[in-house]
Amino acid sequence: MSAYLRGFMPGKKSADWKEFRQLGVMTTIPIILLIGPAVGFFLGGWIDRKSHTYPWFTIILIALGFVASGREVMRLVRETAKDEDLRGTK
């Protein structure tokens, strides 16, 4: 079997796989951190316009968006670290 084919055998993951996974996680984190507060801003603004309570719902939902984004990032980091520990790579 050639060295080229050995790197692509089913069930085996090369070192490149780890790098691609880390790259995916690193590009996902900023997106998650932006989406939560943005959704809070737009949803809060809409509720404030409907209920004439500007800026209270906007502020509250932006804060909740930051909290939700932070929790999601922590969950993602823990899950990625656990996957790497199970594979025996650090």
The residue extents of the domains of the chain are 25-85
Residue range 35-53: mean pLDDT, rounded: 97
pTM score: 0.72
**What's the rounded mean pLDDT across residues 46-64?**
96
Question: Phi then psi for 24, rounded to 5 degrees?
Answer: -60, -45
Which among 39, 6, 28 is positioned nearest to 47, based on CA atoms? 39
Confidence of residue 1 (pLDDT cuts 50, 70, 90): very low
Please state, as a whole number, how many other Cβ atoms lie within 10 Å of the Cβ of residue 36.
Answer: 22
- pLDDT of res. 14: 65
Contacts of 39 (CB under 8 A, 6+ apart): 61, 65
B/e letters for 61-86, b = 16+ CB within 10 Å, e = fewer, are: bbebbeebbeebbeeeeeebeeeeee
What is the rounded distance in angstroms from the CA atom of residue 77 to the CA atom of residue 55?
33
